[in-house]
Chains A and B, each alone.
Chain A
Amino acid sequence: SQKIEQNSEALNIQEGKTATLTCNYTNYSPAYLQWYRQDPGRGPVFLLLIRENEKEKRKERLKVTFDTTLKQSLFHITASQPADSATYLCALDMGHNQGGKLIFGQGTELSVKP
């Protein structure tokens, strides 16, 4: 079955540094990969979507890479700020024959210290 693994441990970094979060998957080749942010007591909020034929995508301080050979996506936050502290979820599409469902990873909790 499809499996998604994100950094199992919480990530603690100093303000101003770059945070790098990892999303690995097995047994599947998604055409799309999405990243979401979730704050305590709130629903996930969409951040970025990257297609299989895109190697990299940027939005302000955020950058996502998608390596279909390694079956891995990396999510970077540059010049991190305490306000970036949250849980970050990656999600993969399950393809047209699955109706376009998304499967979510367990998430990585990021804490940015001032």
Chain B
Amino acid sequence: DAGVIQSPRHEVTEMGQEVTLRCKPISGHDYLFWYRQTMMRGLELLIYFNNNVPIDDSGMPEDRFSAKMPNASFSTLKIQPSEPRDSAVYFCASSEGAAWNQPQHFGDGTRLSIL
């Protein structure tokens, strides 16, 4: 079974550029989550979707961040314009059914470096 697939695995770009991270969840999973992981703050939830609809985006740091899920098999997280403090590892995860009592399946992340 294919797990959660994220691309790119690594992204290095200059401050001010637009960054787009991509995620393909596990087929049949109806919840999709975007997380950010840093040494200082650990793993933080940014936004999550249920059946392609954004449910809670309270973790999105600011208006520079946006996420979409146009269909059940694809989601994007966009940062525009990017800043050095956005450097982190971004994970996408999906789960089947109610999020709190189901395991979340994570991709291997996108390591983002903003110079």
Within 8 A of B (CB), among A75-114: 89, 93-96, 98-107
- Identify the interface centre among B50, B99, B108: most chain A CB within 10 Å of its CB: B99
Among the listed B99, B100, B101, B108, which residue makes an inter-chain contact with A42, where contact means beta carbons less than 8 Å apart? B108
Provided the pairs A34-B103, A100-B99 are in contact, do residues A105 and B42 lie with their beta carbons within 8 angstroms? yes
The stretch among A45-53, A55-63, A65-73 that forms the contact with chain B is A45-53
Interface of B, helix, strand, loop or mixed by DSSP: strand
Contacts of A106 in B (CB 8 A): 42
| Contact assessment for A43 and B107 in the assembled complex, using a CB-CB cutoff below 8 Å | yes
| Contact assessment for B103 and A93 in the assembled complex, using a CB-CB cutoff below 8 Å | no
Contacts of A101 in B (CB 8 A): 45, 48, 56, 99-100
Nearest residue (CB) in B for A94 is B100
B40-64 vs A: 1/0 string, CB under 8 Å? 0011110010100001100000000
Among the listed B4, B48, B103, which residue makes an inter-chain contact with A43, where contact means beta carbons less than 8 Å apart? B4
Smallest Cβ distance from B91 to chain A, in angstroms?
5
B85-105 vs A: 1/0 string, CB under 8 Å? 000000101000011110111
Q: How many residues of A contact B (CB 8 A)?
A: 26
Contacts of A44 in B (CB 8 A): 43, 91, 104, 106
Contacts of B44 in A (CB 8 A): 104
Within 8 A of B (CB), among A1-59: 31-32, 34, 41-46, 49, 51
A112 to B99, CA, bound (A): 32
Contacts of A42 in B (CB 8 A): 108-109
| Contact assessment for A46 and B100 in the assembled complex, using a CB-CB cutoff below 8 Å | no
| Contact assessment for A43 and B42 in the assembled complex, using a CB-CB cutoff below 8 Å | no
Contacts of B103 in A (CB 8 A): 34, 46, 49
| Contact assessment for B100 and A43 in the assembled complex, using a CB-CB cutoff below 8 Å | no
Interface residues of A (CB under 8 A from B): 31-32, 34, 41-46, 49, 51, 89, 93-96, 98-107
| CB-CB nearest 7 A-B residue pairs | A43-B106, A93-B100, A46-B103, A100-B99, A100-B100, A104-B43, A106-B42
Interface residues of B (CB under 8 A from A): 4, 42-45, 48, 50, 55-56, 91, 93, 98-101, 103-109
